[in-house]
Amino acid sequence: MKSSSLTAASALALATIPAPAVAQMNMPGMKMPAKQVKSPLKAANKPTKKHAAKRARKKPAVRHKKAAFEVPMSMPMSGGSETMPMPKSGGTAIPPMGSSQMGQGTMTMPMPQPSTANLAPMGQMLMGQTPMPGMGKGSMTMGAVLGSYPPQRESSGTSWQPDATTPMSGPMAMSGGWMLMAHGDLNLVYDHQSGSRGDDKAFASGMLMGMAQHPLGGGTVQFRAMLSPDPLMGPSGYPLLLASGETANGRDRLIDRQHPHDFFMELSATASQKIGPESSVFLYAGLPGEPAFGPPTFMHRESIMDSPEAPITHHWLDSTHITFGVVTAGLVVDQVKIEASRFNGREPDQHRWNIETGPLDSTAIRVSWNPMRTLALQGSFAHLVEPEQLEPGMNQTRWSASAMWADDVAPRWHAAATLAWGRKSSQGHNDDGIAAEASLKHSQWTIFGRLETIENRELIQGQDQPAYRVGKISLGAVRDFRIADHLSLGGGGVFSLNFVPDALAPLYGGHNPTGAMAFLRLKLN
């Protein structure tokens, strides 16, 4: 008789669970039926009218809150079923739903196999389209390669930028455990440079970058390729007053022109390994690649990446970003990175479609520090063996220091700025270059500007020229329009005012020759 009463009490406890409460026990990958499943024991042990009257006068021992049935969520999946601990009532286990056997404080429920109808194919997991687990809605990003920090910190080569930098955008997908991403833009530019040394030209510039990334032991491996349409503009590049460096024919230096970048801008591989919670080591190799010198190259700096023109400080700060042969080893400890490179110091020649080779005869060392999420600092040194094709036997020493800042300054307003200094030392001469850049983004609009000054010995053909201090101010804007899921079309312009000393004014037709560019831009989003 006592056993019969316990059985009836157990059945009663199950019967008192309201159907809506059971229906609300939704769990990931499983849908509970809205209709409560009846226990077979309830039918086998139906209480008598006497028992029912007695229960009506007795206050229930357990009072359930409305639409609330808490179940400890410790549910290892096995064989399509979920097993979870269940609360006991009166010291007796509640019978499992959908089962005719008594469990020892457990409930086993058949789980439906996940439907693929609502799952996006991995190949369609594109930026802003399909959220990844643990990420914000509509986002998918690659993790950092070199260490345990936000991926926005990583820029060109192995350089760092602020953690608050706008993340790189582009189509993304997963394939066989590899995360793939594409990024790039194409500029169609009409360029006008005034004065007797100026010229007009229409040209195309830009880049297309692809990345593949995969976990490797306790670290990451990444392959990266970056291509450029610049060789299509011809070996002499495009008009740009006060710019100098490299050659179009192997004999004469390019002056007041920006040289085209090589078709292969980067073909690199990176591998990292964690050695502590906030520390790691890494190895980077490229042919071509970017050694550990200077700030991120100008086309990757958020402060000025929207401008179609190269800086006149390019050969003071970041001209080594295309180096045909480089190996870099580094150590990351929390917010500090120390790295050293061995690389081919010769700058690319006038043949822009090929891959060159040479000895790894030059050295670079860089220390980077991100003291806060909005700031990235770096100091670097490089010794280059015969970097200039037209100056055989002449080595250079270069120094660089920079500070980069980025942050949201108001809702939907984002700003970025860079202050960078570089020095070229050769044959007893120390020539400095300084650049200050800034950009402000709001919705689809971007306003950008740059102020530069350099000591340049290359504005007149021939060696042993004096250093002329020249300067430049540029201001521009671009407006983007989304034309497809992962493509936008932008239109903009930039105006430049140049400053030359008295000694050069007759060559430029005055002290302040000007430049202007109008451009259209296709950009992967």
Per residue in 384-412, pLDDT (tens digit) is 999 999 999 999 999 999 999 999 999 99
Number of Cβ within a 10 Å radius of residue 2: 6
User: What's the chain's average pLDDT?
Assistant: 81
Residue 251 confidence (pLDDT) above 80 = yes
Q: Please, which residues bridge with residue 146 across strands? A: none
On the question of pLDDT at 97 being above 70, the answer is no
The token duo for 314 is: 């390019």
Confidence band of 462 (pLDDT split at 50, 70, 90): confident
Whether 143 shows a pLDDT value over 90: the answer reads no
89 within 8 A of 60, measured Cβ to Cβ: no
The per-residue pLDDT for 276 is 94
Label residue 130 by pLDDT band (50, 70, 90). Answer: very low
Residue with tokens 């429920």: 109
Phi, psi values for residue 463, rounded to 5°: -95, 175
Mean pLDDT score, 488-494? 97
Binned at pLDDT 50, 70 and 90, residue 463 comes out as confident
Range 245-258 average pLDDT: 94
Distance CA(351)–CA(314), nearest Å, equals: 20
How far is Cα 108 from Cα 31, in angstroms, rounded to an integer? Answer: 14
Domains of the chain: 2-110 (no CATH), 146-204+274-524 (2.40.160.10)
DSSP lists the bridge partners of residue 441 as 414, 446
The pLDDT assigned to 461 comes to: 87
Question: Dihedral of the CA atoms 130, 131, 136, 140 (nearest 10)?
Answer: -80
Number of H helices, E strands in the chain: 6, 22
Residue 116 has pLDDT above 60, yes or no: no
Query: In the predicted model, what is the mean pLDDT of residues 249-273?
Result: 96
In the predicted structure, residue 441 carries a pLDDT above the cut 80? yes
DSSP state of 30: B
227, pLDDT greater than 80: yes
Q: Are 72 and 84 in contact (CB under 8 A)?
A: yes
Identify the residue with better confidence: 76 or 405: 405
Q: What is the pLDDT of residue 185?
A: 95
Question: What pLDDT score was predicted for residue 140?
Answer: 57
CB 236 within 8 A of CB 216: no
In this structure, are residues 515 and 240 in contact, taking their beta carbons and an 8 Å threshold? yes
Average pLDDT over residues 469-487: 96
Share of the chain above pLDDT 90, in %: 70
Q: What is the DSSP string of 208-256?
A: EEEEEEEEETTEEEEEEEEE-SGGGG-TT-EEEEEEEEEESSSSSEEEE
Confidence (pLDDT) at 168: 86
pLDDT in tens, 6-57: 444 444 444 444 443 333 444 444 444 444 444 444 444 444 544 444 454 5
Q: Is the pLDDT of residue 447 over 90?
A: yes
pLDDT at 99: 39
